[in-house]
A and B are shown apart, each in its own frame.
Chain A
Amino acid sequence: MAAVASETVNLVINDVEIAVPKGELIVESVKRLGLEIPIFCYHPRMKPVGMCRMCLVEVGFKQPDGSVRKMPKPQAACTLPAQDNMVIFTDTEMVHRDRKGVLEFLLINHPLDCPICDRGGECPLQNNTLFYGPSTSRFIEVKRHAHKAFPLSKYVTLDLERCIQCGRCVRFTEEISGDSELAFRFRGASMQPSTFELRDFTSKFSGNVIEICPVGALTNREYRFRARPWDLETKPSICLECSNGCATWFDYRVNRLVRVNGRTNEAINEEWTCDRGKFGHEHYNADNRLTVPLIRRGDRLEECDWPTAYAAILSAFGVGGDKVAMLAGSSLSNEGAYLLNRLFHRKFGSANVDYRRTAHTLPPDEAAGNAPTAIADLELKPSILVFGNSPADDIPIIFLRIRKAWFKHGARVVVAHHGETEADSFADVVLRYAPGTDADLAKGLVAARANDAAGVAQAAAACGVDESRIREAAALLGENTAIVTTDSLLNSASGADAFRALRQLGGELNRYALGANDQGFADLGLVPGPDGRGTAAILAGCADGSIESLWLAGADPFAFGDRATVEKALEQVGFVVYQGTHKSEAMGFASVVLPMAEPAEGDGTYVNAERRLQELRAVLSPPGEAKAAWRIGAELALRVGMAKPYFGAKDVAAEIFTQVPAFRGVAFGDRLN
């Protein structure tokens, strides 16, 4: 944060003097000395509530005569701001007795079913009880009983008996995700966090409440009973389900991914995950993973070895030039994409490579410089314009930042989209335009900024938004506005025009990528050269026979293209290389199938939507004979005599750092030039 706390106060914590910013919560000040206060309800990213009373400390004030006068009762450190002359005791007999008492109360109703609880082994209640709690309970009465293992949604299981009513999950949905789908119902001992009438928990960020629950009340339905925490191994990873590139932990057991948890990265996801990322990695364990190379013999795909597959490919692509083409899929690493791109440009002499999946594209000179605003900087923007996309769907973690900018720093938000979005709930102005009139509205905003009444009236008539609304929105925008669009804007016919118009609006215009490494492809130049063909032209070329060989590098054209067009293209083209991780419909058209490792099964670097370069080291090993993308590229390069051998993804990355200007001198974790 830019602002430096100007005022400090002097505290004494357990006889140690320390200066801390005025107003800092004692629970945070104590951490500065490396001490720990046990907590349940306090969470550093949410407002304190003081519900669990676990963080009680003794507090006194220095008197003029030098003595310390203690407050008669212990205080909750999570709601107590630091003041001058304050004296904190975290280790007195009274504090220990209080902690025992609080834990005894919390355990009155908590079922001690730790042996069958998913949280057992990594449970804050278990840990705090072990370190600070009483060894036995004096309560012999019957415990509260409620529904166990209630499926709140397809991701989250609610066990009301285990709940200690700390309110972390309720506050998360109120303060962070903003859907307020959880609330406390009823009162006293029967108070329970739940959705409205216990209906489905539909939040797009529901997985986070599982991680912040300090007991096993909210558990992961996919991970349920899969493993005990102490049997798991874990490695840092990044999530590649969308372009945000969140930091995650991949927990695995015997080379099988069992769950994904959020990992702290202040620059991107803080510590949150979206449901797509947290629960979307089941494809790692799918039954239809490809494990051996296949080659077409007659109407069947038969198993073969890698050299046979490579030889078949190189002979088919030998024609080169305009007759071959490649489509890249979004989870290819920079290394894999770079090597294939180089193979096409240098060896096959073809510029027909593309990764873009949108219906329309921007010309290359306008497409550059996609994302001037870093995700973390969005938080401090005075105003944000969300244009032509639903951020919670397209870029979920960026959505959380936009919401945080509003919730914490009072940013003014304008949402312009043809459908409902989650961001409407906190937007100052919502501009709901008729589908396809993106450009009209963008021009209207520009006209309103320039006080061009005729222009506003014309735009308002075209896009069906009130003139006054457009003016109201434009008044909130300025030079410091961050404009958030995504590639999905380009699925609209007037999206490119809208993008051009938004450029005149001033402020920082962002067009965030949608696919995991799309931004990396853009910076590596994985786009058709001046005489090359783009995605649509490649598919058309396949259909009319002008392209003879097509390489699908992790791409599944059925997922984005018009069905009839794609089918015709794949039927007509002579030779299809399907380089992928899973069996799919497109594989049925393949001449050669190359099994590829999932991102976390091999080393690689990726560039996220804000152009941050991140390194992913292999967490798992690939199934069967599948190979990481860089390895496939490297082996082909060696075969065509293009390179000295690469012994790892690092060697390829080193070459990218010297060869690609955008990557020159960039360290892992930094944004590209």
Chain B
Amino acid sequence: MSELLQLGSVNQRPQPPKREELTLRFSDAAVKELDALRTHYPEEKACVLPGLWIAQREYGGFLDGEALAEVAYRLDRSYAEVEGVATFYSMYNTAHRPGRHKIEVCTCLSCHVNGAYRVWDYLKSKLGVGHGETTADGEFMLEEVECLDACDRAPVIQVGDQYYGPVDDAYMDRLLDELRASPVNTVVQMADSIVAVQVTGPEREAAHR
């Protein structure tokens, strides 16, 4: 949160961005997808959540102030309202730049008793980052999360929209190498697959034509 604090001089605080100052970075396809979404709901307010997923994809996995402001602008909401929604949900990356792969380690009961913290400690020492931090090369972000609803595979981890488990140190070595070698940005991919659930079939084809 501290990086969001912008004190400024007491009488010259940073102003909310003006509409003409916004840098709009939605691609044509994204704009079309958002337009398609608008037809799904009675009012634009309802498009904020899917709109944020589109933004998370378009802005490379991280929702910074500019991304939130663009969503607010495109859906005619206030900036604060969109920021409030985005910071409420933990799957929107608003606080930290997530890197290419976000590794979410479940440490709830079943995973815990099956050694989740052993995996957690191993990852921490191997990647050299802690909870909510991203490696210097921008590859991995580590996050400790609550129950992932996959106790049968405990200890389980989530990367993008994939679950892996049961995991141990050797499994993690292998998985990290695979992820590093893969050209895919799983954070963006996950955002895209969630958008694909909302904007489906002909709408999506039309948008990406």
Contact = CB atoms under 8 A, between A and B. Distances in A.
B15 A195 contact: no
A196 B5 CA distance: 11
A647 interface: no
Nearest to B79: A196
A384 B6 CA distance: 40
Nearest to B19: A420
B146 interface: no
B42 to A, nearest CB: 16
Given A196-B16, A200-B16, A183 B83 contact: yes
A200 B15 contact: yes
Given A196-B79, A197-B6, A198-B5, A183 B84 contact: yes
Contacts of A199: 6, 13-16
A47 to B, nearest CB: 15
Contact of A180 (B10, B69, B80, B87): B80
Nearest to A179: B78
A75 to B, nearest CB: 26
B128 interface: no
Interface centre among A179, A181, A182, A200 (most CB of B within 10 A): A200
Interface string B31-60: 000000000000000000000000000000
A200 B83 contact: no
A154 interface: yes
Contact of B78 (A180, A184, A187, A194): A180
Given A185-B87, A196-B69, A151 B80 contact: no
B78 to A, nearest CB: 3
Interface string B72-113: 000001111101100110000000000000000000000000
B36 to A, nearest CB: 25
A451 interface: no
A160 to B, nearest CB: 10
A196 B80 contact: yes
Interface centre among B4, B80, B84 (most CB of A within 10 A): B80
B20 to A, nearest CB: 11
Contact of B80 (A147, A150, A181): A181
Contacts of A185: 80, 83-84, 87
A186 B87 contact: yes
B65 interface: yes
Given A185-B87, A197-B65, A202 B15 contact: yes
Contacts, number: 67
A196 B16 CA distance: 7
A187 B11 contact: no
B51 to A, nearest CB: 16
A371 B70 CA distance: 42
A430 B88 CA distance: 34
Given A196-B65, A199-B15, A183 B81 contact: yes
Contacts of A200: 13-16
Contacts of B13: 151-154, 199-200
A199 B5 CA distance: 8
A517 B128 CA distance: 70
A181 B78 contact: yes
Contacts of A180: 77-78, 80-81
B197 interface: no
Interface string B11-30: 10111100000000000000
Q: SS class of chain A's interface: helix, strand, loop or mixed? A: loop
B7 interface: yes
A186 B89 CA distance: 8
B7 A151 contact: yes
B15 A196 contact: no
A88 to B, nearest CB: 34
Contacts of A150: 5, 7
Interface in B155-182: none
A151 B10 contact: yes
Interface centre among B1, B5, B10, B84 (most CB of A within 10 A): B84
Contacts of B15: 199-200, 202
A195 B68 CA distance: 13
Given A180-B77, A181-B78, A197 B4 contact: yes
Interface centre among A153, A154, A196, A198 (most CB of B within 10 A): A196
B163 to A, nearest CB: 24
B43 to A, nearest CB: 13
B14 A183 contact: no
A179 B79 CA distance: 10
Contacts of A182: 80
B156 to A, nearest CB: 24
Nearest to B8: A200
Nearest to B64: A197
A181 B5 CA distance: 16
Contacts of B88: 184, 186-187
B11 to A, nearest CB: 5
A197 B10 contact: no
Contact of B5 (A147, A154, A179): A147
Contacts of A194: 80
Contacts of A184: 84, 88
Contacts of B81: 180, 183
A150 B13 CA distance: 11
A154 B83 contact: no
Contact of B83 (A147, A151, A187, A197): A197
Interface in B178-203: none
B80 A183 contact: yes
Contacts of B68: 196
Contacts of B7: 150-151
A71 to B, nearest CB: 30
A195 B84 CA distance: 9
Given A183-B80, A196-B79, A154 B10 contact: yes
B5 A195 contact: no
A357 B111 CA distance: 76
Contacts of A202: 15-16
A608 to B, nearest CB: 31
9 contacts: A151-B13, A152-B13, A154-B13, A179-B78, A180-B81, A186-B1, A196-B65, A196-B68, A197-B79
Shortest Cβ-Cβ A-B pairs, 10 listed:
A183-B84, A180-B78, A196-B79, A183-B80, A200-B13, A196-B80, A185-B87, A199-B14, A183-B81, A186-B87
Given A151-B10, A180-B80, A184-B88, 19 more contacts: A152-B13, A153-B13, A154-B11, A154-B13, A181-B16, A183-B78, A183-B80, A183-B81, A183-B83, A185-B83, A185-B87, A186-B88, A187-B87, A196-B78, A196-B83, A197-B83, A198-B4, A200-B15, A202-B15
Interface of A: 147, 150-154, 179-187, 194-200, 202
